[in-house]
Every structure is written in structure tokens, then in C-alpha cells.
Structure 1
Amino acid sequence: MYILVAGGGKVGANFARTLLQDGKREVTLIEQRRDRFERLEQELEHHVILGDATEIHILERAGIARPPDVVAALTGDDEDNLVISQLAREKYGVPKVIARVNDPRNQAHFDLLGVSPTVSATRGLMALIEHEVPEHDLVHLLELRKENLEIVEVMIDKGAPAAGRRVEALDLPEGSRLISIMRNGRSEIAVGSTELHPGDQVLAILQPGKEDELRRVLLKT
């Protein structure tokens, strides 16, 4: 597998190091800052090249015309990541493109141009905080934009209408399904015969916009 990584900052460099650890992947890292490139070259040797990954001749020097199996646009500039992603996908037909979103306010631009999947440290931290210190009864954990689905977590309260009922008896909204139940530190797959108990942490997958319907079925009205 050949993976091309654009951006040799902390995120890109650590990603490239991890990919190279087992020696099973071919990796090229592009970094435009000479001081950073020189440090990385001492460590990664021929796996890193100097240049601006938004420039076609640099991308082609890195082997994008092969094309790579994956291009990861991980620079600290969202505009650059958009350009790199678009070039990789539209001009060179790279089958899998992953882009970093530094400013969550720019996520809409990536969505508009069909760049998916994206990774955002800010969004990931917010999901982690909501999971560990929930302020709401339904916590969004993951968005699957390409599939138009999302994964949420729901805590079953003592007086919830779903408490004491089997999954098969619940009138779940169309386009939703319970995935798993976490109870007393142990997880189990949610099947029709699974009975929900107060204190259960339930993972559900559903279409966006179905959250209120799911709340009505699982939580207090």
C-alpha cells in the first residue's frame, strides 16, 4: 500500500512515523518548510521530500500519478488541504482521500466539495468531553457523512419509557437501530431479545434529524 502524506507538522509527521513502523507500507511525506524538512529527513530519510503539496509538480514528484492508495492532506492550512484533496481525487483519481480540518467552521466547505472523510481535533475533543461529562441526554459520537448516518450514545434513566423493555418491543424511528449496550463496564450487541435497564449506555446509529424521535422512544417524555 502506498500512502502520500501532505504536511510534516506534528500531525503529519506522527502519522507518517506510525505508518512506517511495521515496514509494510510505502510512505512519502511532503513538507514545505526547509527547517522542518531537514529535521524529518534525518529521521525518515528518503520518505520525505521538500516542497509545497498544493503544487502539481511536487505532487507528481511524490508519485501521485501512480496513484497512491491513500492521500492524507494534513497541513495546518484548511485551504491547502482542500486544494490537495481536490487535486488528488479529481485530477489523479486517488481512491481514498483524507483531509484534516483545522477550523471546524470550515467543515461546510469540505462537505460542499465532497471531501470525506475529514478529521478534526477540535471536533474529536468535543465528542470526548460530551462522552465523559455529558450535559445532554443524547451525545453525538460520530458522523458518517458519506453514508448520511450518525452514531449517538443515550443513557437510559430509571423512569425512561424504554427501561425494562426489550429492543424488539421498541417502536424505533425508521432509519435507526440500536447497536450495543454498555452495562456495568461490559458491552454486548443489541439484539431483539436484549432488555434495557436503567443505567445502560446505549449506542445507536440513525439518520440525521431522527434524534428527537429516538429520544421519545428511549428517554423520559
Structure 2
Amino acid sequence: MYVVVIGGGRLGYYLLKALLNDGHEVLLIEKNSALCDGINKEMGSVCLHGDGCETAVLTEAGTSRADLLIAVTGDDEDNLVACQVAKYKFNVPRTIARVRNPKNESVFKKLGVDSTVNSTNIILEHIEHEVPSHAMTHLLTLHGKDLEIIDIRIPDNALTVGKQIHELVLPSQTIISLIIRKDSKPVLPRPETTVQAGDQFMIVADASKETEIRDILTAAA
């Protein structure tokens, strides 16, 4: 699947890593040239410098052959425009937009955006030190496939701390796509990767299995 991601902030960066790890062809479009250069140095030529709302940039990105476009900039208007241009100019079959203001969700859907991501949950991730019990954050819902991209933080007292990935008994079709560690580069999980306290697991999973996955990964010793 070819995926175009608009916006190279934290969410866009994580999505890029997760999708690449799952074997998809992905191109990220980012306005900030320094940020784009940094991503390309780390991951190869996967970031295009430009405005994802502009037809010329989307043309250069090969958007006409994309299966999915995901707009996750910090600006609702930019995300809406990028999705509309992708859908109606380039005939992209599916678009997903990040929405910072929940009041805009209905407008996005009326204007043809297939799925929206309410950024309220993303904000909760940034204040998690004030809400220690908030172990799971929803990052993205893939409607039509009943899949969620979720972020689960491993508590210090979790039973899973010290175990290797292959020892975790998770529901079928659960994919741990990326592990974020404090003061460290993101880790692409391998069967022998050891779970550490404070790890953030970026997971693609069946929406109906969220609670089960959270309970398995965060249960106290």
C-alpha cells in the first residue's frame, strides 16, 4: 500500500515509522526543511519538503497512485484542504485527517474526509505525567478495517517488564510496530527485544481487543 502522510511532527513521525515497519511504501510531506532533512538522514529518502496542500507538491509526491493520504499537521484547515485536494484532484480512495478542534469533526466528514482523528487524546499523551493512570492513548482509527493505532505506556510495576517480545501472549493480528524509549532513539521491536519500564508501545490492533491488550501489557506484578 502506498501512503502519503502530511505533517512531520511527532504524530507524523511515529506513523511514518510504524507504516514503514509494516512494509508499506510511505512518503511524508513536511514544510519545515530542517525537520525533513533530519527524517531523511535517519530513514532514507522518505520525506518531501513542501506544502501538502499544494497541488504541485502532491503531484511530485505521486499522490495519484496513493491508496491512502493521512493529514496530521497541527492546523485543521491545512488537514482539511490536503484531504480534499487528494480526494477530488488525485482520486485518492481514502483520506484521514487529524482534527485539533472536536467541533470541526462533523464539518470534515460532510466535506468528504473519510476518517478523522480527534487530537484530544494526543494532548493527553503530553500530560500523562499528571495522569499516571492514563496508560493508553488512541492515535488513529482505520474505519472499515476495524483497526486502531494505539500508544500504550508500560508502567514501572508491570508484569511484562523484563520479558522479551516473543514471550508476550497478545491477541492474534496484534502488531507492535515501534517502541519509544526515554532518552533513546525509537526501537524497531524484534522477538528478542526486552520490555523496559516506561516503554511506549505503538500498536496496530483490532479495535475490539484494545482493553485486553492494555490489560496484558500493563497488569501489575
TM-score bracket, normalised by the shorter chain, equals: 0.5 to 0.7
Q: Which residue of 2 aligns with 1:57?
A: 56
Distance, in Å, in 1 between the alignment partners of 2:74 and 2:123 is 17
For 1:93-132, what per-residue CA distance to the aligned partner results, in whole angstroms no more than 9, with x for missing partners?
1111111101212223212213121111316788xxxxx9
List 4+ stretches of structure 1 deviating above 2 A: 123-126
Question: Which SS does the other structure have where 2:27 is aligned?
Answer: strand
Is 1:35 the counterpart of 2:34? The answer is yes
Q: From the superposition, tell whether residues 46 and 124 of structure 1 become closer, same or farther in structure 2 (CA, over 3 Å).
A: closer
Matching residue within 87, 91, 95 for 2:85: 87
Aligned residue for 1:3? 3
Tell me the percent identity. Answer: 38
Q: State the structure with more CA Rg.
A: 1
Match of 2:120 among 119, 122, 125: 122
Task: Give the whole-Å Cα distance in 2 for the aligned partners of 1:44 and 1:55.
Answer: 24
Question: Which residue does 2:76 correspond to in 1?
Answer: 78
SS of 2:45's partner is helix
Asked whether the 8 Å contact 2:8–2:36 carries over to 1, the reply is: yes
Gaps of 5+ in 2: 125-132, 145-207, 216-221
Q: Determine whether 1:15 maps to 2:15.
A: yes
TM-score for the superposition, normalised by structure 2: 0.54
Question: Cα RMSD between the aligned structures?
Answer: 2.9
Aligned length: 134
Alignment of 1:48-197 (within 5 A): 48-65=47-64, 67-122=65-120
Per-residue CA deviations over 1:10-38 (Å, capped at 9, x if unaligned) read 0111100111114x211100011112112
Gaps of 5+ in 1: 127-131, 134-140, 148-178, 187-221
CA-to-aligned-CA distance 1:148-176 (integer Å, 9 cap, x gap): xxxxxxxxxxxxxxxxxxxxxxxxxxxxx
CA distance in 1, matches of 2:123, 2:14: 18
Equivalent residues of 1:30, 1:51 under 8 A apart: yes
One-letter amino acid of the structure 2 residue matched with residue 43 of structure 1: E
Amino acid at match of 1:34: S
Question: 1:8·1:29 contact (CA, 8 Å) conserved in 2?
Answer: yes
Paired letter, 1:77: D
State how far apart, in whole Å, the 2-side matches of 1:104 and 1:44 are.
33
What letter matches 1:21 in structure 2? N
1:118 partner amino acid: T
Q: Note the C-alpha offset of 1:55.
A: 0.7
Cα separation, 2, equivalents of 1:125 and 1:30: 23
- When structure 1 is superposed on structure 2, of 88-97 and 112-121 the one drifting more is 112-121
Q: Is the 8 A contact 1:104 1:123 kept in 2?
A: no
Give the AA of the match of 1:10: R
Tell me the amino acid that sits aligned with residue 58 of structure 2: L
User: Take 1:15 and 1:42, find their aligned partners in 2: how far apart are those partners?
Assistant: 17
